[in-house]
Amino acid sequence: MKCLLLSLLPLLSLAQPSLRLDSLHKALRQTQNYTQKTIITHKLIGSFPGTKPDSIRKYLRLALHFARQAKNQQLEARTYQLIGNYFQDQSQYDESIRLSLKALALYEKINDTRGMGTAYSNMGLTYKRMGDAQHVDVLTRKGLAFGLKAIDLYSLTNDTLGLIRTYNNLGITYRDLHDYTKAEAAYQMGLQIARTCKVENLSVGNLYANSGQLYIDERTNYDTAIPLLEKALVIYKKAGNEQNTEHIYRNLSHLFRLKNDPVRAITYAQKAITISQKGNDIHRSFNSYEALYLAQQRAGLYKDALTNLEHAKALEDSMIRLDKTQLIADVEAKYQTEKKELEIASLNVKNTLQQRQLLLIGAGLFLSIGFLGVLFWQNRKLNASRSLVQKQSEDLKLMMKELHHRVKNNLAIVSSLLRIQSTKLDDKQAIAAVRQGQQRVDAMSLIHQRLYQTDKITSINIREYISDLAESLMSAYNYHPDEFDLQLTVEQEEIDVDLAISLGLIINELLTNSFKYAYADTARPLLEITLKNDTGLSLEVRDNGVGIDLERWQKGRDSFGKKLVAGLTRQIGGTFTIENRRGTVFNLHIPQENLKMAA
The answer, yes or no, to whether residue 192 has pLDDT greater than 50, is: yes
**Which of 193-202, 407-416, 442-451 ranks highest by mean pLDDT?**
193-202
Mean pLDDT of 550-577: 80
pLDDT tens string 300-351? 888 887 887 887 777 766 655 544 444 444 434 444 545 555 555 555 555 5
Q: pLDDT of 120-131, one tens digit each?
A: 999 999 999 888
pLDDT at 572: 86
Check pLDDT > 50 for residue 28: yes
DSSP sequence for 259-275: TT-HHHHHHHHHHHHHH
Q: Cα–chain-centroid distance for residue 592?
A: 36
β-strands 536-543, 584-591: how paired? antiparallel
- Is the pLDDT confidence value at 70 over 50? yes
| pLDDT given at position 333 | 45
Of 68, 131, 72, 133, nearest to 107 (Cα)?
72
What is the helix (H) or strand (E) element at residue 178, kind and residue range? none
Whether 119 contacts 102, CB under 8 Å: no
Tell the CATH topology of 462-598: Heat Shock Protein 90 (3.30.565)
Q: For residue 123, what pLDDT is reported?
A: 93
- pLDDT of 480 reads 81
d(CA 134, CA 140): 10
- The answer, yes or no, to whether residue 486 has pLDDT greater than 80, is yes
Please report the pLDDT score of residue 97 as a whole number.
93
Classify domain 9-199 at the CATH class level: mainly alpha
Radius of gyration of the chain (CA): 30
pLDDT value, residue 498:
78
What per-residue confidence (pLDDT) applies to 311? 76
**For residues 202-220, average pLDDT:** 88
Please state which of the ranges 61-65, 85-89, 439-443, 538-542 shows the lowest mean pLDDT: 439-443
- pLDDT score recorded for residue 332: 45
Instruction: Name the percent of the chain lying above pLDDT 90.
Output: 26
**Rounded-to-integer distance, Cα 301 and Cα 299, Å:** 6
Q: List the chain domain ranges.
A: 9-199, 462-598
The pLDDT of residue 541 is 94
Q: pLDDT confidence of 521, banded at 50, 70, 90?
A: confident
> What pLDDT does residue 66 have?
92
Contacts of 383 (CB under 8 A, 6+ apart): none
| Residue 526 confidence (pLDDT) | 92
- Give yes or no for residue 11 having a pLDDT over 60: no
